[in-house]
C-alpha cells in the first residue's frame, strides 16, 4: 500500500501506524482518505491482532486542517465532511483488534476525536487534550460531543467543550481519558508492551472480549451523530465561524459578532 501521510510497520502480529504530516499532523482530507484505506486493510487483515496508532514529530494531532474547513461553502458540504469523519472513526472503534493510541504533544480537536475512537489511550508527560472548536465558532464534528461525555463524564465534557479548556496528561489520566502517563521516551515502548501482552491472547478470545466490552460503551447512536453533523455544518456557514477560522489562519483573536 503506497501512502504519503502514514508510516506503517507490521511485526509480530502488531501493526504500528504513525501519522506523518508535519509540522502539526493535521487531519487534511488526504490524510483522512489514507487512514480510511488503512482501516479497510485492518478490517480484513488476519495476520495482526493489535494496532498501535501514534505520530511522528512533536504532536499527536492538532485536529482538522483549518484552511480546508474555511473552504467549505455549503451546509451539505459541511455535513458530508462531518459524516465521513464520523463514519471512519466509528469503524476504528468497531475493529475486532484493540487499537492503542500513544499520544504526545497536542491531541486536540479532530486529533482528540481520533484518539477517543481508539480502545486504549496512553500519554506522554508532555501531552495535552482539548476540543477547542468553539473558539472557531463551530463545534466538534467527528463524534467528539458524543464520545467525550462517555469517557470523562458529562460535567467535565461540558466544561472542556464550552470553555475550550485543556487537560494535561496527568489530568487526563485522573479523568479517565487515558490509562497511563509515561515519559515521552518511554511512550512507544510502553505501547508495545501493551500490544505484546494483547497478541499473546487467543484471537477468538480477543474478538469475544472486544464484542462484550462494546455492550456498555457502544459507538454513538446514529441519530446523535447526525445531529452533531447537522449542527457542525450549519455553524460552519455562520459569520462567526468564518471569522473564527480566518482569525486562526491569520493568528489573531477572533472578533465574534454573535451572527
DSSP 137: T
The whole-angstrom separation of Cα 85 and Cα 27 is: 10
The whole-angstrom separation of Cα 50 and Cα 14 is: 5
Beta strands 128-130 and 120-124, pairing class: unpaired
74 burial level (CB within 10 Å; 0-12, 13-18, 19+): exposed
For residue 9, which of 59, 53, 61, 57 has the smallest C-alpha distance? 53
Residues 34, 93, 113, 228: which is the catalytic one? 113
Check: CB of residue 126 under 8 Å from CB of residue 105. Answer: yes
Query: Does the active-site annotation cover 76?
Result: no
Residues 9, 68, 93, 133: which is the catalytic one? 133
Query: Does the active-site annotation cover 113?
Result: yes
Active site residues: 113, 133
Amino acid at each position: 500500500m503506497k501512502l504519503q501521510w502514514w508510516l506503517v510497520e507490521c511485526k509480530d502480529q502488531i501493526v504500528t501506524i504513525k501519522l506523518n504530516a508535519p509540522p502539526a499532523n493535521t487531519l487534511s482530507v488526504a490524510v483522512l482518505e489514507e487512514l480510511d484505506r488503512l482501516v479497510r486493510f485492518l478490517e480484513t487483515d488476519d495476520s495482526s491482532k493489535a494496532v498501535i496508532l501514534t505520530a511522528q514529530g512533536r504532536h499527536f494531532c492538532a485536529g482538522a486542517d483549518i484552511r480546508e474547513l474555511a473552504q467549505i461553502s455549503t451546509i451539505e458540504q459541511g455535513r458530508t465532511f462531518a459524516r465521513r469523519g464520523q463514519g471512519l472513526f466509528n469503524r476504528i472503534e468497531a475493529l475486532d483488534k484493540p487499537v492503542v493510541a500513544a499520544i504526545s504533544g497536542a491531541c486536540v480537536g479532530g486529533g482528540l476525536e481520533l484518539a477517543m475512537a481508539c480502545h486504549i489511550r496512553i500519554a506522554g508527560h508532555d501531552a495535552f487534550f482539548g476540543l477547542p472548536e468553539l473558539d472557531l465558532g463551530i463545534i466538534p464534528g467527528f463524534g467528539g460531543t458524543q464520545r467525550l461525555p462517555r469517557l470523562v463524564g458529562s460535567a467535565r465534557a461540558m466544561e472542556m467543550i464550552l470553555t475550550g479548556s485543556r487537560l494535561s496528561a496527568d489530568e487526563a489520566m485522573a479523568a479517565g481519558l487515558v490509562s497511563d502517563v509515561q515519559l515521552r521516551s518511554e511512550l512507544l515502548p510502553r505501547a508495545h508492551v501493551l500490544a505484546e501482552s494483547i497478541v499473546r491472547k487467543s484471537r477468538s478470545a480477543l474478538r469475544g472480549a472486544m464484542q462484550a466490552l462494546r455492550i456498555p460503551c457502544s459507538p454513538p447512536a446514529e441519530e446523535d451523530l447526525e445531529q452533531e453533523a447537522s449542527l457542525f455544518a450549519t455553524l460552519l456557514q455562520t459569520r462567526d465561524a468564518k471569522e473564527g477560522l480566518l482569525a486562526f489562519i491569520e493568528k489573531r483573536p477572533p472578533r465574534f459578532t454573535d451572527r
